[in-house]
Structure 1
Amino acid sequence: MLYNYSTKKILILGMGLTGISCINFFLKKGIVPKIIDESTCPIYLHKIPKIVKYKLGILDPQWILESDLIVISPGISSFKPILLKARLLGIEIVSDIELFSREVAVPIISITGTNGKSTVATMVTEIAKNTGYKVYLGGNIGFPVLHMLDQKADLYVIELSSFQLENTFTLKSKIAVVLNISEDHMNRYPKGFKQYKKIKLSIYNQADICIINFNQKIKNLNNNSKKWIDLKSKKSNYHVYYDKKQAIIYHKNQKILNMSETFLHGHHNYDNALVSLVISDAMEFPRNSIIETLKKFSTLPHRFTIIHNKKGICWINDSKSTNVNSTKVALDSIQSIGTIHLLLGGDSKSANFNILKDYFNKLKIIIYCFGQDRLYLSKICKEKSITIQTLQQAIILISQKAVSGDTVLLSPGCSSLDQFSSFEERGNIFIKLIKDII
């Protein structure tokens, strides 16, 4: 179906990279949109063409309500009262992913999940490249998806956040994957976890092949119009088996890959490799290319990466941990004979961290709570918690306490935006502090 935007009054919300890509998308079609940003000084203001009218500092109700089509950037909540009113009036609100979906003619692999989606999306992209596909990776990682339309491709791999899926309706994926769903972004969703889960699962709506990698029942699982692959059921042909501290991927009782032959560590990464294998098999990529790529694949930066291991103390950077479940996964992946020094903190996004209480009680652990929600986090396990203001103060304190056999883990479980510009900056500062102090 071809979409005609020429008669519509189009408004873009958000002046980040997504917003700029939307402007360029419409200008190439000979359409001049308007754009609004809630910031009074957005960093990409200089990239706005002079022909495009803009407003800063507020979501102007007049501009919103006089529009026919609103394209919303993922950083802006769909549940703002003015946007709810716009929907009631019949104004169409979509994401850049929706615009992309309407234009694409080649296969799409769509990947979402609370954790692990960047790693799996990158793994699959590398496997496809190694197979000879001209493939582009975008969405919540890499390029804004609309930029990829300018490239000739055999395949698109897109990583999708719940924010992007909120306003995506016609995405037709060859393969859609939900890696896991756990509590995250509860401050975004008025109806809580059920609403967040429903948005995540919407990735399956128009997919040909649906891969499920988590233990939750999904309605219409047996829908005959789709092919469902459930990796957590006993009937699944794909498994990771653990034998004498070894992790081995099997398919139909045939050994495929011993994870000791890779650079990957931790159960979560073994799961990521398993899902990547399943996606690649569904794409009918040659098995030798799949295994060769997985053997060479290195963990993405700031994802459970050992950055210093001297004097018997292991320092691990897992700054990408931005929700409570990712912290639990990281703790599950540690084999420490000594004390775990956990750096926990930032903006908790109204998540329930009390689910970690019993978990902490079983571990030999000291929890260093820092950042905006340090007081809330320190109450989870008071007798094992230390409250400090900053990451730097925590590193100094740990350097004085840690002894041989201990593990130091930065897995904050929170957004970094209270004290840092991103999880990348948080991780880089952690690395620099260790080099400077240790």
Structure 2
Amino acid sequence: MTGVVCVAGLGVSGTAAARVLAERGERVVVVEAAEGERQRAAAEELARHGVEVRFGTAELPEGTVRLVTTGWAPHHPLISAALAAGVEVVGEVELAWRLRGPQPAPWLALTGTNGKTTVVRMLTSMLLAAGRKAAAVGNVGVPVVEAVAEPYDVLAVELSSFQLHWSSTLAPHAAAILNIAPDHLDWHGSMEAYAAAKAKIYERAGVVVYNADDPRTVQAASPYLDDDAAGGPRVAGFTLGVPRPGQLGVVEDLLVDRAFVEDPLRRAEELATLADVRPLAPHNVANALAAAALARSLGVPPHAVRQGLLDFRPDPHRMAHVDRVGGVDYVDDSKATNPHAAAAALAAYPSIVWVAGGQLKGADVEDLVRQAAPRLRGAVLIGADRARIAEALARHAPNVPVVDIAERDTGVMDRVVTEAARLASPGDTVLLAPAGASLDMFENYPARGEAFARAVRTLKRQAS
């Protein structure tokens, strides 16, 4: 390609895209607003590949013929300038798809508001158990633009709505949407635009996997449901109920497949038991079924599905049991950065002291609080948008005691845990499921979860 390829941002994916493009002989200019130590180090590394990095600007380099973005919003000045100039804008994932070799590995792609990383890691574990050379890539792990150059048998690709927005030719072997709930509305502009970005994953997929229990996901899959018998993509649903033909689901304590079997009308294949799913919670069973559906679409046998679940280890800060103090369990689900994720965690425990708050990113918490109210024994609220949660609690759980903590320093978690312990009784679970992002108080959600775990350990020392 003659002219300049502009890469937006020096993050992990942006740096990888710039390096790969330069190695292919392209003239690459990276535009980066921040100029911190990490960014300068990345720029020095890219300079050795002939890549120019321009800091502190949002101007489109002269001669730009393509802009590669790694998640910048359409209204960003650089993106707006490119679109206005008729410059093609593609995401790093779209670029990776176009750079695949002559015998590319098939992609098993998935997206969703919550559960993506868990499912992509479960899926990779199943593929490895089946003897496939596989990797979890995309919004987790290795950037896709690097992974497509490696000799993998299959890629398990986690895709965000940002990445899908800037993709136009992806054609995965199979694609799944786990769930769709309000999130990133400030980026997309509306719930409709957010859902449409998620639905793009299905457009060229060979197999459409959808959550039969999630109305928005069913709606996204609906154009393909009627076409299944008329030459369209194969369609498979997953459900926490008893599966119909064409679905994976649960029968008593078994995970079963009635989609990828020879006779779905008369036959079901046992894949695993509920005890094989860890941690065992309704939303995590759904995660396991989604991963199994993607794996089965590529011919992974039942024994490898089960072994993959047994081999899988959850990432930190996802319903992680920290400790038990005075008969009370303390659980870190700091990854619950939106109401939908928090609702899944709250549904897993019968009696809860809820630690919540942070940046709600415009999301509504009314339904979350209304549904959780019967399980709540108390709440400790922190962060920028705690007042909105407090207001919802006053409306839907007026008898639940609430502690409002105004301090915003990271050391406040000791007080949070102390207050939660005061509200809890033996048999309760103190659950950190914030329903909001962490950046108002912490570097990221892992830092928030680690602060919670440290405070619990301090509490246990004081109690002993």
In the superposition, the TM-score normalised over structure 1's length comes to: 0.91
Amino acid at match of 2:256: Y
Partner of 2:16: 21
Q: Distance in 1 between matches of 2:315 and 2:281?
A: 13
With 224-233 and 426-435 compared, the bigger mean Cα shift is at 224-233
What aligned pairs does 1:119-198 form with structure 2 within 5 A after superposition? Answer: 119-190=118-189, 192-198=190-196
Q: Distance in 2 between matches of 1:419 and 1:154?
A: 42
The answer to whether 1:347 aligns with 2:359 is yes
Contact residue 15 and residue 42 of structure 1 kept, 8 A: no
Partner of 1:426: 448
CA deviations 1:129-184 (Å, max 9, x no partner) are: 11111112111111111221342111111101111111011111001010110111
What aligned pairs does 1:15-414 form with structure 2 within 5 A after superposition? Answer: 15-41=10-36, 43-48=38-43, 49-50=46-47, 51-60=50-59, 62-63=60-61, 66-74=63-71, 76-104=72-100, 105-190=104-189, 192-213=190-211, 214-215=214-215, 216-218=218-220, 219-221=222-224, 222-223=226-227, 224-232=231-239, 234-241=244-251, 243=252, 247-252=253-258, 253=268, 255-336=270-351, 340-382=352-394, 383=398, 384=400, 385-388=402-405, 389=407, 390-414=412-436
Query: Match of 2:450, SS?
Result: helix
Amino acid at match of 1:346: G
Partner of 2:261: none
Contact residue 360 and residue 381 of structure 1 kept, 8 A: no
Residues 329 and 82 from structure 1, CA distance in 2 versus in 1: closer, same or farther, beyond 3 angstroms?
same
Amino acid at match of 2:24: K
Q: Which runs of 5+ in 2 are unaligned?
A: 259-267
Amino acid at match of 2:384: Q
Amino acid at match of 1:358: R
Q: Distance in 2 between matches of 1:393 and 1:36?
A: 42
Question: Aligned-pair distance for 1:354?
Answer: 1.7
Contact residue 263 and residue 296 of structure 1 kept, 8 A: no
Question: Aligned-pair distance for 1:255?
Answer: 4.2
CA deviations 1:323-366 (Å, max 9, x no partner) are: 10111111111133xxx111111111111112224224333332
Contact residue 272 and residue 305 of structure 2 kept, 8 A: no
Question: Aligned-pair distance for 1:406?
Answer: 1.4
Residues 231 and 261 from structure 1, CA distance in 2 versus in 1: closer, same or farther, beyond 3 angstroms?
closer
Equivalent residues, number: 422
Amino acid at match of 1:196: Y
CA deviations 1:265-312 (Å, max 9, x no partner) are: 100111111122222221111221221221332322111121212421
Query: Match of 2:254, SS?
Result: strand
Q: Distance in 2 between matches of 1:310 and 1:106?
A: 49
Q: Distance in 2 between matches of 1:165 and 1:13?
A: 16
Query: Match of 2:186, SS?
Result: coil
Q: Which runs of 5+ in 1 are unaligned?
A: none
Query: Match of 1:314, SS?
Result: strand
Question: Aligned-pair distance for 1:85?
Answer: 4.2
Q: Distance in 2 between matches of 1:157 and 1:254?
A: 23
Q: Distance in 2 between matches of 1:130 and 1:44?
A: 38
Contact residue 271 and residue 305 of structure 2 kept, 8 A: no
Question: Aligned-pair distance for 1:402?
Answer: 2.3
Q: Distance in 2 between matches of 1:131 and 1:234?
A: 26
Q: Distance in 1 between matches of 2:285 and 2:312?
A: 12
Question: Aligned-pair distance for 1:420?
Answer: 1.7
Q: Distance in 2 between matches of 1:38 and 1:357?
A: 38
Amino acid at match of 1:328: A
Q: Distance in 2 between matches of 1:149 and 1:298?
A: 25
Question: Aligned-pair distance for 1:254?
Answer: 5.0
Residues 266 and 12 from structure 1, CA distance in 2 versus in 1: closer, same or farther, beyond 3 angstroms?
same
Contact residue 16 and residue 42 of structure 1 kept, 8 A: no
Residues 237 and 17 from structure 1, CA distance in 2 versus in 1: closer, same or farther, beyond 3 angstroms?
closer
Q: Distance in 2 between matches of 1:329 and 1:33?
A: 43
CA deviations 1:359-382 (Å, max 9, x no partner) are: 243333322211121222221113
Question: Aligned-pair distance for 1:56?
Answer: 2.0
CA deviations 1:375-413 (Å, max 9, x no partner) are: 222211134332113433311212333221111001111
Give the CA RMSD over aligned residues. Answer: 2.0
Q: Distance in 2 between matches of 1:254 and 1:137?
A: 26
Partner of 2:262: none
Q: Any runs of at least 4 consecutive aligned residues in structure 1 with deviations exceeding 6 A, and if so which?
A: none
Query: Match of 1:93, SS?
Result: strand
The answer to whether 1:417 aligns with 2:414 is no
With 268-277 and 360-369 compared, the bigger mean Cα shift is at 360-369
Query: Match of 1:344, SS?
Result: strand
Identity in percent: 24
Q: Distance in 1 between matches of 2:289 and 2:317?
A: 21
